[in-house]
Structure formats: C-alpha cells, structure tokens
Amino acid sequence: MKLEFDDQSGPPKGGYLSLFWLGQAGFWLEGQSKRVLIDPYLSDSLARKYRGKKHDHQRMAAAPIGVEALPEIDYVLITHAHTDHLDPDTLAPLFARFPEIRFVVPASCEALARERIGQKANLILVDAGDQLGLDGLNLTVFPAAHEAEELDDQGRHKFLGYGIEINGARIYHSGDTVPFPALDEAVAAYAPDLALLPVNGRDVDRLADGIPGNLTLDEAIFLARHADILVPHHWGMFAFNTEDPVKIDRAASTNSEVQIIKPQLGRTLRIVSDGD
C-alpha cells in the first residue's frame, strides 16, 4: 500500500480510493462506491465560543472546503463529543442538506449527538469492541483514552477510534488518544495499512486549562509500527495545541520504522495498493 498526492489540488474526484484532510482530526475518505467523513470540523464555532479567552481557538488555516461544497455523504464517523469532532455548525447543516446520511457515533453521547446534528438524524450507536458490516465498508470500533479511558454511567466508552475496511484497504483512525497497552495490542491485531494518528502531544499546563492531550509524534510513530503508513493529524489548527510541522517533516525523512506522509490541506492523497 502507498499514498501519493494527486497532481491537481482540490478534493477527491471520485472513482478511486483516496483521502482528503479536513484539518484537525477530520478526513474525507473517498471510496469507489462510498463516501465517508471522519470528525469533520469545518466551521468557526469554537472561535466564536472562546473569543476573548486565553485559548481563543482561532484557526491557523481556513477550512479546505465548506459544508455547502461537500457532495452527498454516505457515513459520518464521530469519535467523541468534543466540538472539534462533533461540531454542530458542520454536522447540522450537513444533515439538513443530506437527510439520508448515517452518523456513526459513540452510544455514550447519543443525546448530545441528536442535539447537535438533529433529533431525526440516522444514528448508528457503537461502543468499543463492536464490529459492523455496513453497506460498502466494515467497521471495527476501538477504545481510546483522551488522557484516560472514560466510561459513562452505563459503562460505555466516551472516546473511540475506528478501523475502516473499504475497497481492500484497512484504515485505522484512533480518534483522540494517549498510549495504553490494550490499544497497542488491538492495533497490532488489526494490522492496518494506514494509521491516522494525532501528534499534538499533551502537557500539564494545557490539561490544567481543561484541554486533554494526545499521542506525541514519537508515540504515534511507535504505535504506527503496526501499520504500513502513518498519516499524522491534530496539528496546524489551533496555535496552543499543535505540533511543529518541521518536526513532522524531519521525522518523515529520518524515520526508518514506518513511512510518514504529512497531509496537506486542499490536496488529495490517492491510496494505491501494491498491485496497482
């Protein structure tokens, strides 16, 4: 399996398997017959919410596409309830445009998902350990730990990741997570072709401000040893919670354990099997 940038900029054109970074943890996965969004944050809702605050959540770069320009979507996968993953200003307008969309969301945040997306939205409720055969793709649901594994009062995980099997490729999106032994074991067993992992790290000061952390770049590289390719995300959106892209470039050029492909806003990555 390999990734290569399309010659022309812009979102996927369809007809082949490809990946388009939406910023933060968001991706548009274009299959040959199905179209999937993961954690799309395409608005400025957080900037409005935190205007004038210590962490103002101003975008470092504009969204590469607006909700109004998206084509019809088959599935939207949501990993957890934080607004840069479950964004009402992205998801509600998307549902209004395409009411047949199916939203895969943690069962632990069903009420909030309906509030932010729409009460009549078609929700597929999942928890860690679930395996779903959907039309055009298979999903494996992973646990995640956004600083810690958290369960609701019914014992359901608040943070999830997804393994997506589509058109012969196996793609793992961790959601927001830090390392923990059970996750390493689960990813090793899944053996993804591509690992989409956060690299913004964590620190005590951010956590004290209520901002939980994620994998560091080194931890993401270590977890991605179970995959062929690492695509680092959760950088370049908010200045207070990012990783230096120069460090990602340096790791991509020097690391020999895993191939690192740094996504670019506005450019499509084509997913090519070894036989193509």
Structure confidence by residue, pLDDT tens digits, 75-109: 999 999 999 999 999 999 999 999 999 999 999 99
Walk across the sheet containing 194-198 and list its strands: 131-134, 137-143, 160-166, 169-173, 194-198, 229-233, 259-260
Sort 43 into a burial class: Cβ within 10 Å, 0-12 / 13-18 / 19+: buried
Q: Considering only CA atoms, which of 94, 68, 75 is closest in space to residue 28?
A: 75
CA 57 to chain centre: 18
Q: What is the pTM of this model?
A: 0.97
| Mean pLDDT, residues 104-127 taken together | 98
pLDDT digits (tens, 9 = 90+) for 134-182: 998 999 999 999 999 999 999 999 999 999 999 999 999 999 999 999 9
Those residues whose C-beta lies under 8 Å from the C-beta of residue 95, and which sit 6 or more positions away, are 101, 103, 117, 118, 121
What's the CATH code, domain 2-272? 3.60.15.10
What is d(CA 43, CA 224) in angstroms, rounded to the nearest whole number? 30
Q: How confident is the model at residue 7 (pLDDT cuts 50, 70, 90)?
A: confident
How far from 222 is each of 31, 51, 179, 195, 205, CA to CA, in Å?
28, 37, 10, 11, 25
The one-letter amino acid code at 206 reads R
| Mean pLDDT, residues 99-125 taken together | 98
> What is the domain partition of the chain in residue ranges?
2-272
Which strand (E) or helix (H) includes residue 29? strand 26-30
CA 132 to chain centre: 18
What's the token pair of residue 22? 């939406």
What is the pLDDT at residue 14?
Answer: 80
pLDDT digits (tens, 9 = 90+) for 244-271: 999 999 999 998 889 999 999 999 999 9
